[in-house]
Structure formats: structure tokens, C-alpha cells
Chain A
């Protein structure tokens, strides 16, 4: 099922006993269309991870509401409504491999589905599908998750989330700490699930090259607010705003601007990837 996400003036903070943190989300309005791939970017501490947490009810809004499909998350929600949300919104945290716990990869992946009332035989079947979806071999199912490499562990953790068959996938820096090849593979997989299964995808990342290569839209966060929500190309064409938000450029665009400044030449369009840049350089006759 495809699902839309709507945030309406969502304000949230963390409460720890009597202590309250300043607002981590401050009147956030955003509307994510079904099947889109949105990158959430912003300076450290801008509220990106908190935004992901309100999407599956880990952080409840003090004010405003979050709508996922036709389910509404509000401050005083009971556990049942939250359980329904968590089944639909699959969440991959920073360093998700830290959550692996079971003796075998299979048991680990089955844990989520079993908790949502799926039978053991069905859960095992789901695990077999999920492990292949993350590009790993079925034979790993009987191994201990702790005997795997970092990249494999990361994939097993993501398989555990896919096993819940969510309609929306939210990921917090899924590539952090992986080698460049491993990172590219994970992001390509995420992008292919988005395209083939219409899985609405929300990705938090600092890597603007990944944003340029994989996302459709960009949501820029600053001080707990979503200050811009636009297509990737529009976002990265708006230099003055980007500077104000302290948002970096994809390498290709950064290089393009440096070149344009030095030479006085202007390339035809905003280049987002190295291939686009190379084509533009050839077209304009610089090489």
C-alpha cells in the first residue's frame, strides 16, 4: 500500500524526568507524497533524527499532529495506535547493527514479524525473502550475526526492518561507516525498493553526493524547522539560501561553481553528478 505522510505544525521536545530540552521540532509542516524518495539534510543538531522519530511514534508531538496514511499520531496516543504505526513505518537507526541480539541471523530477522503476530513458519519465509533483498546469501541465516563483517551486519539489521513489510522506510545515515563500495550498494538497494515497491522513503544524510544521486526531493532542516522542501535540482540551484542554511553542495555542483568563477563561463544547467558535469564540460568545449 502506498502511503502519504503529513506533518501539521508538529512541535516536540525530549522529556527526561523533570528536565525538558528546548524544542527539537518547532512547528514542522511537511507533506511527503506516496512513493517519493526524500532526503532530509541540515546542520548537526537541526532536528533531522527527531523528525524521523515522530514519523513512527518514538517521539510524540506536544502540539500538532502527524498523519501516516489515515492514522493520526497525537500526544496522548495509546499503545495500540502506535503499534499500528510502527508496523507501517520501518525505521533504520544510526548504526542499526548495534541492535542485533539473537543467536542466529534468522532469529534476529524473525523477531519483528513474530512480535506483530506472524506465525513462525511464515516469519521464516519472510526472513528468507528479506535476506535476499539486502543482497546477502540465504546461507547466512544460520550464522551468528556477530560473526559477520560490519557491512553484512548493517544489511542484516536493515533486513530485520524490511521483514516487517513496512509501507514507509525511514533511514538515519544508513551508509555511515561503510566503505565506499558498501555504501553505494546499500543506497542502490534502498533506491531500487523505492522504485519497484513504491516504498515511500525518507533518508537522513550528510552526504550531498548521495542526495544528488538517489533522492527526488530534499527537505532542509534548520533549528527544528523544515525551511525548504523542493526537488533536488531546485534545492541545489539556490546558492544564497544554501549558504544561509549552511548546507553543502554535491561535489559536482561545487566544482562547477569554482570553475564558473575562475573562467567566467557559465555551464548550461546545474550539474548534480560527475557524469552530468563531464557531459557539460565536453558540450561547452572545455575539453
Chain B
């Protein structure tokens, strides 16, 4: 069997070593190549901390992280960051360029890429997030959703094997979000991109291959979204599941299993 592309073993992390409270306690998680994994959980459950550890911005106090078979540490993180890219929730935290295209090119310049190749990559990346017409704009003056798209393009231009999104789509309008998700899905299917998405959007989580529920720094549950949403009733659910629960409360004879919206329509029309 192939080794997982990301392997976290017994990770422990505390922001303040004087305090007993662990932000991440004993988390082990494996992600397969080309997998779409959604990580959900309340604010403060440790999701963003986990994301920052994955790219070596934070170092776990115990446990190990292996990416593409290599142990992530101070010596390997520079090399591994060419393979794993993180997009933050607030895009203002990662802009450096004065125009959109300079900002995208920044990461590529650091790789000493030839100019022609760089031009091509910048254009492709902006095309993917539908922001090519804004290439000469000042990124700090774009709208929230446009900024998020540029931030994602900056990572996609680097052509990573693994993309980590930390609530990176929250300011997008629903249509742009669906469009971008389907672009990412194509990259996953055609290029084998591995996507780890931290999200509060349960419809997005429902569309992932697998989901993990974090609670107070521990993995509370993992599995197929369809299983997780039925087992964890206290979790905010995708829309069809919310309707199913309301109908069940009204005493309507709904099946006791997860349904997608399409399945729900079919069931109502049986």
C-alpha cells in the first residue's frame, strides 16, 4: 500500500507551556494522495493550529508530521513548502505585491523560475480563480472575496501537491465559491491535488471524500460525511439533513439515513 501523503502521529501542541491546556492533544491523522479531506469543528477546536503545523509555521511539542514521506522539521520545511501550500482565512495576512500579478509572482521569484515560465504560471493561476482581468490592480484595494481568490491563485501558481485551505473561501459570494470549488475539484481529479479544507460550511464538508470533526484539540470523529452527519446530531448539518431532522421531529416517516438533496427530492417524489 502507498504511504499517505500526509501523516500526523500523536501531535501535541500548547501555545503557552505554563498552561496545562493543550490546543492539540494527541492527534493522529493520515491523508491519502488525491484525497479531499474536510476538517470541521468549533472556533477554538484547534483547526487553524493544525493547519499551521502542517506547513511548519508552528512546531508540535510532541509527535511527528511526515509529508510525502519526509519528516517535517526545520531542515526540511523549506523544501516541503514547495509541495504544500496554505491559504489563510484573512487574505490581508499574506499580500506582499503592489499589483495582483506581482503578488502571485512573488512565490515564483523565490524559486528562481525563468521569466517566461513565471508569466505562464501567473496567468494560469489567475485564470483558474477567474481574476485575470484584475492582474494590474492593487490587491489591498480589492473586495474581500476577490482578495481571497488572489490569495488562492498565489498558492496554485506554485503548483503544490497539497493545498491547505483555512476557511479560505468565507468571503466569496456563493456562486464564486461553487465555481472555485469545482475548479479545485478538477485539479484534484486531473492532477491528483490533495486538498485539506478547514471549513464551517457543512455543504462543502458534505462534498468532501472524508471529514474529520475536531473538538477541543482532539479528533472526535472521522469518516464519510454521510455517516458523520447522521451520527453526530449536534453538528450543524447540510441542508437536506436539516430538513430530514425537522420532518422527523414532526413525526413524518423519514428514513433514518443521510440523504443528499437529490436523494431527498427523489424520496419525496416516490
Contacts and interface: CB of A to CB of B under 8 A. Distances in A.
Contacts of A45: 142-143, 145-146
A150 B202 CA distance: 19
B261 A255 contact: yes
Interface residues of A, number: 46
A44 B146 contact: yes
A255 B246 CA distance: 15
Interface in A81-108: 94-95, 98
B145 A282 contact: no
A93 to B, nearest CB: 10
Interface string B146-175: 100100000000000000000100111111
A179 B265 CA distance: 28
B239 A251 contact: yes
Contacts of A207: 174
A223 interface: no
B242 interface: yes
Contacts of A149: 43-44
B89 A177 contact: yes
A213 interface: no
B202 A248 contact: no
Contacts of B44: 149-151
A246 B174 CA distance: 9
B236 interface: yes
Nearest to A286: B268
A277 B144 CA distance: 32
Interface residues of B, number: 43
A158 to B, nearest CB: 15
Interface string B202-242: 10000000000000000000000000000000001001101
Nearest to A14: B141
Given A151-B43, A179-B200, A278-B246, A259 B265 contact: yes
Interface string B65-106: 000000000000000000000000110100000000000000
B239 A281 contact: no
A246 B175 contact: yes
Given A206-B177, A246-B175, 11 more contacts: A44-B172, A94-B171, A177-B89, A206-B173, A258-B261, A259-B265, A263-B265, A278-B247, A281-B247, A287-B247, A287-B253
Closest 4 CB pairs of A and B: A44-B145, A180-B236, A248-B174, A251-B239
10 contacts: A21-B141, A43-B173, A45-B142, A48-B143, A151-B44, A179-B236, A251-B239, A255-B240, A258-B261, A287-B254
